[in-house]
Amino acid sequence: MTKTMKHSIASGFLLTSILFLSLSASADPIILRRGASVAALNNNATTSATVPAGSHDLRAALAEKAIMLADAVAKRDQAIAKAEARQKQIGPKKDVIGKGDTLAIVLARAGAPANQAADAFAAVTKVFNPKDLRPGQQVSVHLAPAEDGEGLVLQSFALKASVERDVAVERQPDGTYKAADKLKPLTTEISRAAGTIDNSLFVSGTNAGIPVDVMMEMIKILSYDVDFQRDIQPGDGFDVVFEQKITPDRKLARNGRLLYASMTLSGTSLKLFRFEGDDGFVDFYNPKGESVRKALLKTPIDGAKLTSGFGMRQHPILGFSLMHKGVDFGAPTGTPIQAAGDGTIKVYGGNGAYGNYAQVQHNGQYATAYAHMSRFAPGLRVGSRVRQGQIIGYVGSTGRSTGAHLHYEVLVAGAQINPLSVKLPSGRKLEGQDLREFLNSVKNLEQKMDRLPQPVQVASAR
């Protein structure tokens, strides 16, 4: 814009000079207006005041006009220089989201007029949830002087929402704002981190480059076989292979799936491989294709204590001896109850003395039941598939119950058994085509393990 203005002023000045020269040789009345703008001179030559004919008067008038025009040009140049300087000042302003910042605060801080900031904010919410604003995200706000010279106009702003995602809002010719988000294409890379435990798996693992979320999953799958309180000794080893999602500029966008986790405990190694079966269920298996996951949890509730075991007991409400066909876990009302194993919901609703009751069928033989629940989990119904550990309801005291607890039963072929004394079935074992595919994927991974790179670390600045 400023370049064009300068250009038109320069050519205007040139035109004026030519006019001046040609007019000084003529006796014809010329047409000029006091204070005429250069642009007006450039574009048309109408006037409101006529300079009278006569060489003396004409020369004086033209000389005066020339001075005036030169003056106008100088003033205009000054104005342009000022505008340029101002634009430099207000051009794309970089900012970083601080604690407690909102987009409105950031836009106001950059000097955006409130009504435009509000319009731009309304536009951005179509592609970006303001709740996802995080300290450290970079923002760039671009303002320009208004065309009438009064104040500033918010032209655009851009937010680095994440390593892989930019969000931008731009002012349209009609003065509205339009938002767009750009996702960078990510590539999946496989990384490996291995090391020896000095004191804690967590510290040694982090030092080796295992991201926290990967470490948590690793601990979860290993915890079926490893007692992390007791089994780990200094000198034990770990080895992890996992995916990372990398941006085109080689920054870590996020971590992907854990593919392999291994621990060597006092010389014995335990290796677990991720595998997705034909039915879409993902699990971790030992090299023989046996799931690490036990088919049923002994305690389908976190942090609860056993308050009543399985067997004959004096019933607290009925007052006479009765077979207690399950185990009771005391826990506060509202404590989440987990499905003890993968399966399908067979019963889900009120069930007499059991109160709110759920029964999950795990396979042809085993089922588990959960009673006295205060409420059911949203979205589940009879026939729903549930995974081990999935919340299926909440502890309560509905039905024949003296206080908040979970009554838990394990049924084999329809009859209750004592879940605490019976050896629960092990998890699933891959067979047939699944097993062949699994063994192949294990072989493939083992062949390339030695060549896998170290994990890409999180960049310190986003």
Query: In the complex, which residues of this chain contact Zn ion (CB under 5 A)?
Result: 326, 328, 407
Residue nearest to Zn ion (CB): 407
Closest CA to 401 of 311, 339, 333: 333
Q: Considering beta carbons, is residue 12 or 393 the nearer one to Zn ion? A: 393
Q: How many Å apart are CA 172 and CA 13, to the nearest integer?
A: 34
Closer to Zn ion at the Cβ: 211 or 355? Answer: 355
Q: Which amino acid is at 279?
A: D
Q: How far apart are CA 376 and CA 87, in angstroms?
A: 61
Whether residue 318 contacts residue 402, with contact meaning beta carbons closer than 8 Å, is answered with no
Q: How far is the CB of 366 from Zn ion (least distance, A)?
A: 19
Locate all alpha helices (DSSP H) within 208-335, ordered by sequence.
212-222
Q: H or E element: which one contains 64?
A: helix 55-90
3-class DSSP state of 191: strand
Q: How far is the CB of 371 from Zn ion (least distance, A)?
A: 7
Minimum gap (Å) between residue 462 Cβ and Zn ion: 52
> Nearer to Zn ion by C-beta: 265 or 371?
371
CB nearer to Zn ion: pick between 205 and 396: 396
Residue 408 CB, shortest distance to Zn ion, in Å, is 8
| Least CB distance to Zn ion at residue 372 (A) | 8
97 Cβ contact list (under 8 Å, min separation 6): 106, 133, 134, 135, 136, 137, 138, 139
Of 315 and 387, nearer to Zn ion (C-beta) is 315
The residue (of 13 and 370) whose beta carbon lies closer to Zn ion is: 370
Mutual orientation of helices 114-124 and 103-110 as an angle, nearest 10°?
140
DSSP, residue by residue, 203-219: HHHHHTT--HHHHHHHH
**Helix H or strand E segment including 273:** strand 268-276
Q: How far is the CB of 338 from Zn ion (least distance, A)?
A: 17
Instruction: State the minimum distance, in angstroms, from the CB of residue 387 to Zn ion.
Output: 25
| Nearest CB to Zn ion, comparing residues 139 and 327 | 327
Q: Which is nearer to Zn ion, 217 or 328 (CB)?
A: 328
CA dihedral for 60, 63, 64, 65, sign (positive or negative): positive
Q: Name the residue nearer to Zn ion (CB basis): 192 or 407.
A: 407
Q: Which is nearer to Zn ion, 326 or 355 (CB)?
A: 326
Q: How far is the CB of 400 from Zn ion (least distance, A)?
A: 9
Please state the closest distance from residue 324 (CB atom) to Zn ion, in A: 6
- The whole-angstrom separation of Cα 383 and Cα 361 is 10
Angle value at C-alpha 277, between 271 and 279, nearest 5 degrees: 155
CB 388 within 8 A of CB 299: no
Per-residue buried b or exposed e for 29-50, using 16+ beta carbons within 10 Å of the residue's own CB: ebbbbeebebeebbeeeeeeee
Residue of 282, 258, 168 lying closest to 205 (CA atoms): 258
- Which residue reads 């988000």 in tokens? 181
Q: Minimal distance in Å, beta carbon 326 to Zn ion?
A: 5
